[in-house]
A = this chain, B = another copy of it.
Amino acid sequence: MYAVIMAGGSGTRFWPLSRETMPKQLLKIGSEQTMLQQTAQRIMPLVPHERILIVTHGGLLRDISAQLESSFGGSWSNSIIVEPEAKNTAPALGLAALHISRIDPNAIMVVLAADHFIRKSDLFLDAIKLAASAAKKDYLVTLGIKPGRPETGYGYIRSGAPIDLAGTKGVFKVSAFVEKPDIATATKYIAGGDYFWNSGMFVWKVGTFLREIERLQPELHSGLQKIRNSIGSGNEADVAQTVFSTLKPVSIDYAVMEKTDRAAVIPVDIGWSDVGSWTALDEVTDKDAAGNIIAGNVIDLGSRDSVIYADQRLVATIGLHDAIVVDTPDATLVCSKDRAQDVKKVVDELKKRKSEEHLTHRTVYRPWGNYTVLEEGERYKIKRIVVNPGAKLSHQLHHHRSEHWVVVTGTARVSNGDKEYDVHSNESTYIPISTKHRLENRGRIPLQIIEVQNGEYLGEDDIVRFDDDYKRHDTVKRSPLPEIPK
């Protein structure tokens, strides 16, 4: 059994906590682990590390491996399938299936979302096992969530006749997939008892799935074949890019599930939430007596049924009802709960304005540590840089800026042009423009430096890398598919 975790989501609905480079699946929501880490952990009793695959886009590759490696150890970079271009779920899952089928065409493939919350892991695993037994009989199985409320934001699955699996109960033919209903229809669905939320979790045999793609989506199938044939040619990345650029974006529901006659549903009650907006925090986090979820440096006087999320900065709230307040170092959201779905409109507006606040946080995590932009002004930028013990940044050079470094804690090993020397706390050094340099922490405690950049262009992309522990200077295009393990 293989698990494929879909982790390409952009998570705009959790802005400003989520950003394009830090979407919901990489955040700690409802747990000390990130949603991605929770998702991997949850399936591990059935699927070992080596058979868990992550599908994502190139921008998240590094952070996803880092999160998985920090939680579970080992290397995860070979477990990641990179979509050459975002084309919705069908092409992405086709690519994953192609990869698995090269290893084992009879493997069971479990499809999970990286950003869903599931309270009852045991029941979830039971359902996956049941689904696997149906998948062995060539069914394409989806988990249908027993609806707790007449939700109008989800599609529904109507169950049909039970499927006889040698006495095992709980699997049904799918009678229909239906679009997001209005509230009256949703209420009727709930009363009926045979409608379930479409969770986007699937279980199928990889061979069955690819045959259904061949039958129902011949263009996608032939694209996948081209990619398959290119493997070993050294040209995989280009071929995959070309194929994906011509594919129509299409969801797996529309492409396969709604059309196949092999669709089955297993109704489950596993404490599921897609945590689709700030209001959904209610489903994954405990509330206080007044119905509030409050975190961080908050002084609240008499608010009710509100989400108040602060970080270090002080947030004072007085007498709010059904409000969402999210404060981050560079942006604050204040939103009425009934408008939580409109957070993505703010993100759209920020994109239109080319603002940075939808893209990155003030603090950016890197394999060697992190940096925080403290201030940007005309011709200068100030960062606090933290280098983990034993880590070093790439050997690099900037064409448009010089840098002053003041060491605040720890000891910096600095290579600066031809020289190499240590800079201790309360000492400083200067890196002239166009000079090769490197920063390293050979000590036992985190190295913190304050960097003052001067120059006429201060973008992060003014960097030439010569050597990098994290291979970021490697410009060879990465194949979307990892190597097949021997």
Of residues 363 through 403 on chain A, the ones whose CB sits less than 8 Å from some CB of chain B are 374-375, 377-380, 382, 384, 402
Contact B319 A342 (CB under 8 A): yes
Q: How large is the interface on A (under 10, 10 to 19, 20 to 34, 35 or more residues)?
A: 35 or more
A323 CB within 8 Å of chain B: yes
The 0/1 profile, CB within 8 Å of B marked 1, for residues 401-412 of chain A is: 010101011000
| A392 nearest CB across to chain B (Å) | 22
A60 CB within 8 Å of chain B: no
| A110 nearest CB across to chain B (Å) | 37
Knowing A313-B331, A428-B404, A454-B425 are in contact, say whether A319-B301 is a contact too (CB < 8 A): no
Contact B299 A350 (CB under 8 A): yes
Contact A452 B454 (CB under 8 A): no
Contact A318 B336 (CB under 8 A): yes
Contact A378 B409 (CB under 8 A): yes
A233 CB within 8 Å of chain B: no
| A440 nearest CB across to chain B (Å) | 21
Knowing A338-B319, A408-B379 are in contact, say whether A301-B426 is a contact too (CB < 8 A): no
Contact B339 A301 (CB under 8 A): yes
In the assembled complex, 28 residue pairs joining A and B whose CB atoms fall closer than 8 Å, in A order, are A301-B342, A302-B342, A310-B332, A314-B331, A314-B332, A315-B332, A315-B334, A316-B332, A316-B335, A317-B335, A318-B342, A318-B346, A319-B335, A319-B339, A320-B323, A323-B323, A327-B332, A334-B334, A374-B382, A375-B384, A378-B409, A379-B408, A379-B409, A380-B450, A406-B406, A426-B454, A428-B452, A450-B452
Given A299-B350, A450-B452, 16 more pairs with CB closer than 8 A:
A314-B331, A315-B332, A316-B331, A316-B335, A317-B335, A318-B333, A318-B335, A318-B342, A318-B346, A320-B336, A374-B374, A374-B375, A375-B384, A406-B406, A426-B454, A428-B452
A residues whose Cβ falls under 8 Å from a Cβ of B: 16, 299, 301-302, 310, 313-321, 323, 325, 327, 330-336, 338-339, 342-343, 345-346, 349-350, 355, 357, 374-375, 377-380, 382, 384, 402, 404, 406, 408-409, 425-426, 428, 430, 448, 450, 452, 454
